[in-house]
A and B are shown apart, each in its own frame.
Chain A
Amino acid sequence: MMNHVFIILIALGLIVGMFNALSDAMKADTLEQRLEILKTRGKNITDSVVNMAQTAVELCLDYIAMMALWLGIMKIADESGLVKSLVALIRPILVRLFPRVPADHPAMGAMLMNIAANMLGLDNAATPMGLKAMKELQTLNAEKETATNDMIMFLAINTSSVTLIPFTVFLWRANTGSVNPFAILVPTLIATSCSTIGGPAMAHFLGKFLGRTRDYYDEFKAGKDLSKLDDDKEEDQPVKL
């Protein structure tokens, strides 16, 4: 996807640039002037490209300082068990959003940890937890190639950005000379709440509307071994060398 976007954007930018340069050059009277305009236009684009690349690296050098500071602080928060206390806080709300995940299933724990880590902005800790949650949700799924309603609800919560403090945005604002980098804290919190309510609400209604897929909820409740259920149905797959 990004490959297509990348090449199309470069081509588009260059073609428009050439076209602009040519149409401007046509307005000049003598051939010499026309060539001069064409030349400067090319140089402008080259300069701009080089400048932008330099800006990118310069900005990142500042970013190292800010990122080191913030992740250092967040590591302290991580080790002090902040994630776990947040889990206790959000558990009662989240359990209701996943009707087909038993409260004592390991998927619930992993999802809670992932969402709590996301709220604190601990991306590095959140992703492995999220992948573990998906793996656990898959054990409850009877149609292995189809996403269950609970998986989609989890994704909707995850992609609606539940971050309480968007610290990297603050840092970039501070870096580019904002008078008050943190002024956006409350507006962002309100906007985040809107997306965090909107996404899961949509997932909920679409889920109600489209019904749910087959799962192993009752089998888990009955205490059966879910991994054995999978083995019966799985077809023999050719071994890849």
Chain B
Amino acid sequence: MMNRNRTKKYLFIFFFIITALFAWTVFAQDQAQAEKPKIPFNPFTSVMDLVSQWCIPLIIFGIAFYAYAMKKVKVYEAFVEGAKEGFNVAIRIIPYLVAILFIIGIFRAGGAEKIFIRMVKPITNLVGVPPSLLPLFFIRPLSGAGARAVMIDIFNHHGPDSLDGLIASCVQGSTETTFYVIAVYLGSIGVRRTRYAVPACLFGDLCGMIASVVICKFWPWPF
């Protein structure tokens, strides 16, 4: 009981400080904006922007604080151990990234990319998808590293805040390497007849992709 009460107290203090800080900043900003009104004020967009800019620092602090104060985790040691893992993960993806990006290099310099885009443009225009995203849609269920490379290429080429970049981020975040997961999971137990696993899982990916395109087109982006 003692422990739970203390937990509640910590949480209360934590949220109180955060709320107070937010209230103070918003108020201070309001005064500053009153002097030089530049961008038309849209409450929804600016709140979204504010939340999204603060969400990562707050998540990091929240997790570390929760673990340290309530679960008595050795936070420093745990962090270092995880960071080591992160190093290995990042090193491991280099070969895959090189493999996909150099193919894109051949496509771009040789002019095959232009021809491809000219070919698919009538179809993508009809549906309203930027043509540069088609490769991402096709490679996403097949290879996680490949899809990541295509996404990074879109970021580099069109910019992460362009419509192409935003849809690519959204697709990457809302779908999975379907064929890989099915193959590994069912393969590990020796199941050969997959029945309707592939259509069901691909339908989920399709839903995610359609939703990404539609949402990104109509979302009130802050930039």
Using a CB–CB cutoff of 8 Å, the interface residues on chain A facing chain B are 1-2, 5-6, 9-10, 12-14, 16-18, 20-21, 41, 44-45, 47-49, 51-53, 55-57, 59-60, 63-64, 66-82, 124, 127, 130-131, 134-135, 137-138, 144-147, 151-152, 154-156, 158-161, 163, 165-166, 168-170, 172-173, 176-188, 190-192, 194-200, 202-203, 206-207, 210, 213
Contacts and interface: CB of A to CB of B under 8 A. Distances in A.
Contact of B186 (A10, A53, A147, A178): A147
B122 interface: no
Interface in B156-175: 156, 159-161, 165-166, 169-175
Given A57-B98, A75-B85, A187-B215, A195 B205 contact: yes
B8 to A, nearest CB: 16
26 contacts: A9-B103, A21-B110, A52-B104, A56-B101, A63-B90, A64-B86, A73-B60, A73-B82, A76-B67, A77-B63, A79-B73, A134-B185, A145-B193, A155-B197, A160-B204, A160-B208, A161-B176, A166-B172, A173-B160, A176-B159, A187-B216, A191-B171, A191-B215, A195-B208, A197-B207, A202-B199
Q: Please classify the interface of chain B as helix (H, G, I), strand (E, B), loop, or mixed, using the class held by over half of its residues.
A: helix
B18 interface: no
A161 to B, nearest CB: 4
A163 to B, nearest CB: 7
Interface of B: 48-49, 52-53, 55-56, 59-60, 63-64, 66-67, 70-71, 73-75, 78-87, 89-91, 93-94, 97-99, 101-112, 115, 142-143, 146, 148-149, 151-152, 155-156, 159-161, 165-166, 169-179, 181-182, 184-186, 188-197, 199-201, 203-208, 210-212, 215-216, 219, 221-223
Nearest to A55: B101
Given A17-B111, A180-B49, A195-B208, A134 B173 contact: no
B71 A172 contact: no
Given A155-B185, A158-B181, A182-B52, A192 B90 contact: no
